Amino acid sequence: MSSRTSVGAKVAMYAVLIFLAALWLFPIGLAVYKSVQVGGWSNYNVVLNSDTFNYWQAIGNSFLMAGASSILIIIASSLAGFAFSKLKFRGRKLLYALLLGCLAVPVAAVVTPLFFSVNSVGLRDSYIGVIIPLAAFNSLMMLLIMKNHFDSVPDEILEAASLDGAGLYRTFVKIMLPLSGPTLATVGTLSFVYSWNEFLLPNLLLRSAEKFPVTQAISLLQFDRMSLEQISQLYAGLILMTIPSLIVYLVAQRYLQAGVTAGAVKS
């Protein structure tokens, strides 16, 4: 098809792409420029050595909460995805429908009970109190992706395993999981990125600055009346806090794209 595309059409297409790409790169380029506009590159040093804002702690907190919730999600969604796809049991369809029915429930709609219940079990302002709701709200999309994946694994593999006398758990761990590498990577990457980016749950449930993930730690770099230098330092901090996301993007872009499309193509 491309061979038939006329030169004029190609020029027009490039014009559209370049124009849009410029719009998309503008905020990113501007943030980099602003971060050194007043104070120069030393702004990065200032942010890294700030008294009120601890960069490595924020990164560590995000890493801990996103990592732990992703592990919970991988375990829960792969076990259930396998069962809903390959095992027969009473109430299977109903339970699956009830679970996926929650896919559209926004965290924002239920913040009041979430806060109240996390508070009443004494988990307010704790990592685990954020990790569990994070995993809960992100696990359903991942369940959908895992089930669709197991649907594509032929039933014969399962039958052969049960003829060999392998138990369900063994079949799952020794046969099903090794067949699921890319999907597990997809689910892991997507869960990690979504949890890392979450703002509302930590905002609702955390109070101490030393537990803040990056999305909350931004507030530690903002003050009421900011000088131009402080604004430049804020930009430097924002860029520093984006670096881990960029690394994930570069390393796992393939899985992120796969996850985004896997969740959407079949439902």
Partner 1 sequence: MMRRIQPYLFVLPVTLLAGVLIYYAIGFTAWASLTDWNGLTEMNFIGLGNYVELYRDPLFWTALRNTLMFLVATIAIQAGLGLLIAVIAKERLRGSNFFKAIFFLPIAMAPAIIATVFKYMLEANYGSVNEALRGLGIIEQSTVIQWLGADLGVWSIIMINVFQWMGFSMMIYYAALMSIPQDLYEAAEIDGAGWWRRLRSITIPSLRGTTSVLVILGIVGALKTFDIVWLTTGGGPGGSTHFLSTLLYEERSNRQAGYSSAIGMVILVIAFVLAMVQIRLANRDGSQR
| 251 near partner 1, judged by CB under 8 A | no
| 242 near partner 1, judged by CB under 8 A | yes
Q: Which stretch binds partner 1 (CB under 8 A): 49-57, 102-110, 149-157, 177-185?
A: 102-110
- By CB under 8 A, the residues from 177 to 206 that bind partner 1 are 193, 196-197, 199-200, 203
Q: 46 or 95: whose CB is closer to partner 1?
A: 95
Closest distance to partner 1 from the beta carbon of 95 (Å): 6
Query: Among 71, 166, 168, 177, which residue sits at the site for partner 1 (rule: CB under 8 A)?
Result: 168
| 98 near partner 1, judged by CB under 8 A | yes
At 158, list the tokens. Answer: 């399962």
Q: Which stretch binds partner 1 (CB under 8 A): 44-52, 120-128, 177-185, 234-242?
A: 234-242
| 173 near partner 1, judged by CB under 8 A | no
| 126 near partner 1, judged by CB under 8 A | no
Closest distance to partner 1 from the beta carbon of 189 (Å): 9
- By CB under 8 A, the residues from 53 to 72 that bind partner 1 are 72
Query: Among 36, 115, 126, 230, which residue sits at the site for partner 1 (rule: CB under 8 A)?
Result: 115
DSSP output for the chain: -GGGS-HHHHHHHHHHHHHHHHHHHHHHHHHHHHHHHTTTTHHHHHHHT-SS--HHHHHHHHHHHHHHHHHHHHHHHHHHHHHHHH---TTHHHHHHHHHHGGG--GGGGHHHHHHHHHHTT-TTSHHHHHHHHHHHHHHHHHHHHHHHHHTS-HHHHHHHHHTT--HHHIIIIIIGGGGHHHHHHHHHHHHHHHHH--HHHHHH---GGG--HHHHGGGG--SS--HHHHHHHHHHHHHHHHHHHHHHHHHHHHHHHHHHHHHH--
> What distance in Å separates the CA atoms of residue 192 and residue 200, rounded to the nearest whole number?
16
| 107 near partner 1, judged by CB under 8 A | yes
Q: Which stretch binds partner 1 (CB under 8 A): 49-57, 121-129, 148-156, 233-241?
A: 233-241
Closest distance to partner 1 from the beta carbon of 99 (Å): 5
